[in-house]
Structures are given as structure tokens and as C-alpha cells.
Amino acid sequence: MPTAVVAIGGNSLLRPGERGTIEEQRRNLKTTCEGIAALVAARYGVVVTHGNGPQVGAALLRSEAAADQVPPLPLDVCDAETQGSIGYLLQQTLQNTLGRRGLTQTVVAMVTQVLVAMRDPAFRQPTKPVGPFYTRAEAEKRRARLQWELVEDAKRGYRRVVPSPEPKAIVELLPIQRTLESGALVIACGGGGIPVILHDCQLVGVEAVIDKDRVSALLASQLGADLLLISTGVDEVALNFGTPEQRSLNHLTADEARRYLQEGQFPPGSMGPKIEAALSYLEHGGREVIITSPEKIPEALRGKAGTRIAPQPA
């Protein structure tokens, strides 16, 4: 049975303008789960990864707001909390979706740790924004009291930034493999995984955020997956995005994708990390990448939508 790793983005849970209620997230997940069910119906073994940016921000905000009544939670524990809550919503919605289609796979959500290097340069230069915006005075208090790094957004205030180190190994890789081999659909590496380091031969959580697409590429490579499907907010990859010269791309080779990336066609804050993840997966023996929106997953599997990236020309 072929294996697919499906990386779903934040738009699978929250859409622009929404508050982020559980009802909204359940409703949005239904569309994505229909696409994932199409993969199961096509007889793929499936592992699903997901983002958690807005949910971690909300968890940090709740933790800080209640700090005078209960102890605040560190970022790695907030990662774990959101892995559990999003995993539950995904697990239940997927199980219901599969059941309506007459598919009997069990869905298992797995809290996942991801090993990073203590000496990763990212720890010396935090860049990943997390949590709410603060006024200058609020930011200075937190910088002094909590030793946070904060950066200014000229229009919205100050925001905490944390390291975004490169994932080195997935701690629970073997349980993921065995659960997948049992015939279950696995949800793992949520939000990029909980970042941990090895200190005195012990795993220790760190306050950092790992890029979800990077971890998905690593997981797909280590599982020997046949397909990495990246679900995002656009139907396909495009050149000159957002300009009158915008042109959609249905097929790309790895060399073409790398060239366009170097030319600046895929910015770091949007399509860039997805293309980098696709290239990493293909460079480590991956067979095919599909990038598309949640709504277009079934069509993309039939070659009718999305962007396919292959190691070499077909």
C-alpha cells in the first residue's frame, strides 16, 4: 500500500475574519477531511500533520491572562496542549467522514516530540512571532521580567519572537510507523512537533517553534512515503503571485522549483517554506509532491487541480 503524508495548514481550521471558535474549526475541518478521505479511498496509508499557530497564540494569551490565579504554561506545554485539542477535533471529524464513506480505518492522534540541536543558530537569533501584540510599556515589562525577545511591528505594537530551529529527528517515529502499518490513519507532528533537546541524555522541552512543513518533509522522508501533499490557502502554486502577470503552475520539476525559489518567486512568509519542504523531501528520495487547497484535494489526486512537483521530468 502506498503511503501519503498530508500537511494541512492553518486555513484548514481557521479562515480570515473568524474568531476561532470550536464550532468554526469543526466546520472548516469537514472540507479538509473529505480530501483526506479521498486519499484513504484511493488505498493510501495516511499520516496527517497540521499547523497550530493561532491556537498556540490563544493558549499563551489564556495562560498569561490567568497567571494571577494559576501557574502560566511554557511554550512547549502549549504546543502539547494544542496537539491534543486539534488532534481530537481532527480525529473525530475524520472518523465521522470515513464512516459516512463506508471506510473502516481507525484514526489515532499521537502527541509527538521533535528533536532539535542545542547549537542550532536559530537559538541565537529568534525570528518566529508567537502570542499577542503588546504596547511598548507592556513589552518592556515582559522583556525585563521574563527575558523574552520582542520585536516591533510598526502598525500593531510589539510581539514576542522565539527560535525556529531545524528538525533533526522525530522521537515517536517508530510508534508512528507501527500504527500506520496496523492500518490506522495517524495524526502526528502537530504544529511542527513539540521541540525538545537532549541534555545529559534526557529529553527536555524548549521554548521554540518548528516549521510544520519542514517536519512534514522529514516525516515523509523517514517513512519512505510515496506522496507529500501540502494543503494550503491557494489552489496551485503561481509565478508573479498577486500581480497582473500571475501564472499558475500545474507541473514543476525539482530543478524548476529550486530556480524559481532562488529568483524570489516564493517568498519566505508564504509559499517559500512549502517549496523548501517539497525540495527537501524529493532530495531524500521522495517521489511526488502535490500542493493545493483543502477543497481541491480530491481533484488534485486525479490530476485535475493543484501543482505537482516531481524529481525529474515525467
Q: Choose the catalytic residue: 35, 131, 191, 212.
A: 212
* Cell numbers given for 130: 508567537
pLDDT at 314 over 70: no
Looking at the structure of the chain, the number of domains it has is: 1
Residue 207 domain flag: yes
The answer to whether residue 31 sits within a structural domain is: yes
pLDDT score, position 269:
76
Residue 69 lies in a domain: yes
The residue among 262, 188, 224, 159 whose CA lies nearest residue 7 is: 188
**What was the pLDDT predicted at 270?**
84
11 included as an active-site residue: yes
Catalytic choice (52, 53, 87, 274): 274
Please write the tens of the pLDDT for every residue from 113-132: 999 999 999 999 998 888 77
pLDDT at 33: 94
Q: What is the pTM of this model?
A: 0.92
Residue 273 near residue 211 (C-beta atoms within 8 A): yes
155 is catalytic: no
Q: Which phi and psi angles does 219 have, rounded to 5°?
A: -60, -45
Query: Is 30 annotated in the active site?
Result: no
Q: What is the CATH number of the domain that holds 275?
A: 3.40.1160.10
Q: Is residue 141 part of a domain?
A: no
Answer yes or no: is 124 within a domain: no
Indicate the pLDDT class of residue 13, thresholds 50, 70 and 90.
confident
Whether residue 259 is contained in a domain is answered as yes
Between CA 1 and CA 216 the distance in angstroms is 20
Cβ pair 290, 306 in contact under 8 A: yes
Collapsed DSSP state (helix, strand, coil) of residue 237: strand
| pLDDT tens digits along 26-70 | 998 998 999 999 999 999 999 999 998 888 888 888 888 888 899
**Residue 213, domain extent:** 3-118+172-310
Residues 189-224 pLDDT 10s = 999 999 999 999 999 999 999 999 999 999 999 999
Element (H or E) spanning 149, and its range?
Answer: strand 149-153
Q: Is 90:28 a contact under the CB 8 Å cutoff?
A: no
Find how far residue 47's CA is from the centre of its chain: 12
Residue 153 in any domain: the answer is no
Strand partners, 7: 49, 230
* Count of other CB atoms within 10 angstroms of residue 50: 30
Q: Does 168 participate in catalysis according to the annotation?
A: no
Q: Which helix (H) or strand (E) holds 55?
A: helix 53-65
Going by the DSSP 8-state scheme, the letter that residue 121 receives in this structure is: G
Q: Which of 11, 53, 286, 306 is catalytic?
A: 11
Is 306 among the domain residues?
yes
- Residue 247 — φ and ψ, nearest 5°? -135, 125
10 an active-site residue?
Answer: yes
CB atoms within 10 A of CB 266: 20
DSSP 76: H
